[in-house]
Amino acid sequence: MHKNKIFKKKIEDFVCNNCETTVKGNGYTNHCPNCLWSKHVDINPGDRKSSCKGSMKPVSLEIKQGDYIIIFNCNKCGATKKNKAAPNDNMKKLIELSIK
């Protein structure tokens, strides 16, 4: 599913720091499907090596080869990251991002 060779699949459940939704991870989950917020925990996808741990705000959406890609900005360090939207993501929130 993931083309990045340095990707490490990591199955983890978590509670969203933004909306407190309990999220069941599947190994590719990196953001809350309810509010779309993420957490800056990785340097490379799945490695959990970032010391930042800031909240990642979903700021926009792009479409690449038919996939919806969420762009996040870290509220703590300012880093920008991208991740593919998941099938169970809140469609209303994705649409809101697409018109920003």
pLDDT digits (tens, 9 = 90+) for 46-78: 888 999 999 999 999 999 999 999 999 999 999
- How many residues comprise the chain? 100
| Model pLDDT, residue 80 | 96
Q: H or E element: which one contains 6?
A: none
- Give the span between the Cα atoms of 83 and 61, in whole angstroms: 10
Label residue 2 by pLDDT band (50, 70, 90).
Answer: very low
Q: With bands split at pLDDT 50, 70 and 90, how would you rate the model's confidence at 90?
A: very high
Q: What does the alpha-carbon distance between residue 63 and residue 80 come to, in Å, rounded to a whole number?
A: 17
Q: Does residue 3 have a pLDDT over 70?
A: no
CB 38 within 8 A of CB 17: no
Q: What is the pTM of this model?
A: 0.87
- Encode pLDDT of 4-51 as tens digits: 557 778 788 999 999 999 999 998 888 999 999 999 999 888 888 999
Residue 23: strand pairing partners: 14
